[in-house]
């Protein structure tokens, strides 16, 4: 898959040097001409790619939902005979809130650069853009795409992905999308045993501590991983104490300390079933028997979103993440494409990062081996 980013053509606000952000300002005639020129450049770009890959072709155009990007994408698609595959809300420009429409000047831009003004925080902005691009990749795996978006989006995204400051490109400029900076590996480990595990009680989001067997399991798993040659750069966990203590024990074995916790790694909430020894039938469909049980889809979705966030937070690093049985089983089933069985206490599993990036949140959860 090869994707390029196109900054939309000029608008009157660009011409007047007004902060545009999420305001929906249309192209002007100069902007439309720039979009046509971008299409010519993209045709030439494809010819260059064909020198090394004779089968190279553009497969389609996706866009920001804002009209200046959508019209730019449509003009390019028409010129190249391509389909417009859709727009993605997460690809809208960064919101400058009350600053939008104000003529830009150095002091104003400094407040944007330093985030001293009330604008969309950079971290939130980049997270929604990365999530949107992950969804594009999931929707069109292996396709060569033209993505019509916005200047600050391109600048900040490319700076984040390359580690070097990238200036805001001119209107109509073609920028090759740098690969996402993701973790080199993520290993998921279920926490060690608790007394509720020992008694086969539903645990869920209840904060039940490890018992001595659980602590021993954490040490044994760490020792086994070390003997097998595994090393880690970062250890994270669910905020529940049984996961945090497991993570602390394992981190110490690798000469590390716990780097942080993620709410999204907590166990599935089992509502009124928590603390009970429920039947095998009820364990298969607890929400059919007890109130307040978190949905299957919610567990899949937040588990995948959290693992993607961890991958973005620790690019190029080997991450050990301690979580819980139901969440791990569902996350692995989604990313690997087949259903996993029971996850034992302190059992480690490698996450398929390709599956993690490509999983489509609109897919049905895996149940009984089927999507």
pLDDT in tens, 144-176: 999 999 999 999 999 988 888 999 999 999 999
28: CATH:
3.40.50.1240
Considering the domain architecture, whether residues 104 and 238 belong to the same structural domain is answered as no
Taking a C-beta distance cutoff of 8 angstroms, is the pair 87, 63 a contact?
A: yes
Considering the domain architecture, whether residues 26 and 122 belong to the same structural domain is answered as yes
Would residue 371 count as lying in a domain?
no
Between strands 185-190 and 348-350, the pairing is antiparallel
Domain final residue, candidates 143, 176, 209: 176
Average pLDDT over residues 102-116: 88
Average pLDDT over residues 220-241: 96
Higher pLDDT, 12 or 181: 12
pLDDT at 371: 34
Considering the domain architecture, whether residues 131 and 220 belong to the same structural domain is answered as no
Domain final residue, candidates 176, 202, 229: 176
Considering the domain architecture, whether residues 215 and 352 belong to the same structural domain is answered as yes
Average pLDDT over residues 312-326: 94
Considering the domain architecture, whether residues 310 and 240 belong to the same structural domain is answered as yes
Considering the domain architecture, whether residues 56 and 166 belong to the same structural domain is answered as yes
Per-position DSSP letters for 104-134, written without gaps between them: P-HHHHHHHHTT-SSS--HHHHHHHHHHHHH
Asked if the model's pLDDT at residue 103 lies above 50, the reply is: yes
pLDDT at 366: 56
Would residue 131 count as lying in a domain?
yes
Nearest C-alpha neighbor of 351 from the set 360, 361, 359, 362: 359
Asked if the model's pLDDT at residue 131 lies above 90, the reply is: no
Considering the domain architecture, whether residues 16 and 41 belong to the same structural domain is answered as yes
Confidence of residue 312 (pLDDT cuts 50, 70, 90): confident
User: How far apart are alpha carbons 295 and 317 in whole angstroms?
Assistant: 32
Considering the domain architecture, whether residues 93 and 167 belong to the same structural domain is answered as yes
User: How far apart are alpha carbons 218 and 225 in whole angstroms?
Assistant: 11
Average pLDDT over residues 295-314: 91
Q: Whole domain around residue 111: which residue ranges?
A: 3-176
Query: Which member of 8, 71, 130, 191 is catalytic?
Result: 191
Confidence of residue 359 (pLDDT cuts 50, 70, 90): confident
Would residue 141 count as lying in a domain?
yes
Asked if the model's pLDDT at residue 364 lies above 90, the reply is: no
Would residue 366 count as lying in a domain?
no
Asked if the model's pLDDT at residue 202 lies above 90, the reply is: yes
Query: Which member of 245, 267, 294, 296 is catalytic?
Result: 267
Query: To which residue do tokens 């993209």 refer?
Result: 42
Would residue 368 count as lying in a domain?
no
Would residue 370 count as lying in a domain?
no
Average pLDDT over residues 139-147: 93
Considering the domain architecture, whether residues 270 and 141 belong to the same structural domain is answered as no
Average pLDDT over residues 57-78: 98
Asked if the model's pLDDT at residue 369 lies above 60, the reply is: no
Q: Catalytic annotation on 130?
A: no
Confidence of residue 370 (pLDDT cuts 50, 70, 90): very low
Query: To which residue do tokens 């992905």 refer?
Result: 161
Would residue 218 count as lying in a domain?
yes
Would residue 275 count as lying in a domain?
yes
Considering the domain architecture, whether residues 259 and 148 belong to the same structural domain is answered as no
For the record, the structure tokens of 71 come out as 């019209």
Average pLDDT over residues 316-336: 93
Considering the domain architecture, whether residues 250 and 168 belong to the same structural domain is answered as no
Average pLDDT over residues 69-93: 98
Mean predicted lDDT score pLDDT of the chain: 93
Between strands 318-323 and 185-190, the pairing is parallel
pLDDT at 363: 63
pLDDT at 163: 84
pLDDT at 354: 79
Domain final residue, candidates 176, 206, 226: 176
Average pLDDT over residues 226-230: 94
Considering the domain architecture, whether residues 238 and 97 belong to the same structural domain is answered as no
Our count of domains for the chain comes to 2
Q: Which residues of 332-353 are buried (b: 16+ CB within 10 A; e: fewer)?
A: bbbbbeebbeebebbebbebbb
Helix (H, G, I), strand (E, B) or coil at 320: strand
Asked if the model's pLDDT at residue 53 lies above 70, the reply is: yes
Q: Catalytic annotation on 191?
A: yes
């Amino acid at each position: 898959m090869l994707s390029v980013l196109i900054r939309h053509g000029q608008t009157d606000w660009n011409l007047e040097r007004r902060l545009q952000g999420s305001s929906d300002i249309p192209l002007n005639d100069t902007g439309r001409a720039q979009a046509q020129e971008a299409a010519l450049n993209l045709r030439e770009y494809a010819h260059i790619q064909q020198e090394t890959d004779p089968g190279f072709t553009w497969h389609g155009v996706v866009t920001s939902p804002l009209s200046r990007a959508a019209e730019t994408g449509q003009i390019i698609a028409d010129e190249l005979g391509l389909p417009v595959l859709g727009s993605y809300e997460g690809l809208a420009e960064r919101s400058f809130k009350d600053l939008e429409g104000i003529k830009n000047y150095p002091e104003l831009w400094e407040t944007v650069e330093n985030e001293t003004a009330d604008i969309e925080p950079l971290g939130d902005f980049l997270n929604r853009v990365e999530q949107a691009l992950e969804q594009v990749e999931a929707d069109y795996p292996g396709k060569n795409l033209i993505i019509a978006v916005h200047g600050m989006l391109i600048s900040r995204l490319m700076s984040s992905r390359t580690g070097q400051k990238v200036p805001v490109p001119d209107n109509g400029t073609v920028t090759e999308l740098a690969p996402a900076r993701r973790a080199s590996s993520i290993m998921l480990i279920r926490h060690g045993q608790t007394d509720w595990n020992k008694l086969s009680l539903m645990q869920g989001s209840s904060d039940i501590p490890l018992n001595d067997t659980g602590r021993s399991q954490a040490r044994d798993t760490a020792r086994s991983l070390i003997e097998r040659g595994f090393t880690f750069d970062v250890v994270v966990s669910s905020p529940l104490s049984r996961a945090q203590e497991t993570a602390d024990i394992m981190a110490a074995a690798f000469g590390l300390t716990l780097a942080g916790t993620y709410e999204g790694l907590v166990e599935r909430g089992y509502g009124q079933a928590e603390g009970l020894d429920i039947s095998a039938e009820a364990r298969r469909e607890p929400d059919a028997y007890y109130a307040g049980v978190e949905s299957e889809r919610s567990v899949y979705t937040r588990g995948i979103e959290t693992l993607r966030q961890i991958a973005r937070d620790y690019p190029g690093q080997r991450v050990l993440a301690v979580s819980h049985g139901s969440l791990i089983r569902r996350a692995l089933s989604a990313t690997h494409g087949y259903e996993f069985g029971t996850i034992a206490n302190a059992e480690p599993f490698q996450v398929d990062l390709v599956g993690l990036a490509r999983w489509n949140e609109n897919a049905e959860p895996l149940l009984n081996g089927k999507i």
